[in-house]
Amino acid sequence: MADVLLFHHAQGLTTGCLDIATRLRGAGHTVHAPDLYDGTTFATLTDGIQHAQDVGFDIIVERGRQAADDVPPDVVYIGLSLGAMPAQTLAQTRPGARGVVLLHGCVPTEKPWPDGLPLQIHTMADDAWGDVDVARQLADTIDTAELFLYPGDQHLFTDNSLPSYDPEAADLALTRVLSFLDDAR
């Protein structure tokens, strides 16, 4: 089974993020879910994003790097929205990655994508926060990328602790993630 480093979204390490980790563990994967916010969660996405801006995105990425020091290099990085920043950065700078899954968001690549590194991106087609244009650009330029667009406009649709949760889309996304992890072993 795969080792996974799961980075939470801007609202923090919510119970919904922990439930995703539990589902992946239930399939036999080892999941590390560091808390990049030191225990703080936010009721709204806007408040969480403001916190990330106040802390500094570079600090969030650095906290992700520090969390990676405690796990083997041959992991699959999973980033949920804001968590895409440390996930993508580590995948592109830390040797040994087995794959990358980006849920709810992604960022443009500043460095070349590692040859042969599988990438899976999941977002809702009409999500204003989901970076759909960037996701399409990554899928078009990275030959190992798969893009899955789900109908709707909810941002954090896989987090069952938030009002944006979409059970049908979340189940399909996580089923696809589990298949990806099985292939990344």
With cut-offs at 50, 70 and 90, classify the pLDDT of residue 136: very high
DSSP bridge pairs for 58: none
The encoded tokens of residue 168 equal 């049908």
Percent of the chain at pLDDT exceeding 70: 100
pLDDT of residue 19: 98
Q: What is the pLDDT of residues 60-117, one digit of tens each?
A: 999 999 999 999 999 999 999 999 999 999 999 999 999 999 999 999 988 899 999 9
In CATH, what class is 3-183? alpha beta
The full set of domain ranges for the chain reads 3-183
User: Reduced to 3 states, what is the DSSP secondary structure of residue 77?
Assistant: strand
More confident residue, 160 or 130: 160
- The Cα 66–Cα 9 span in angstroms is 17
Closest C-alpha to 104, from 37, 180, 10: 10
Determine the residue type at 46: T
pTM: 0.96
pLDDT of residue 50: 97
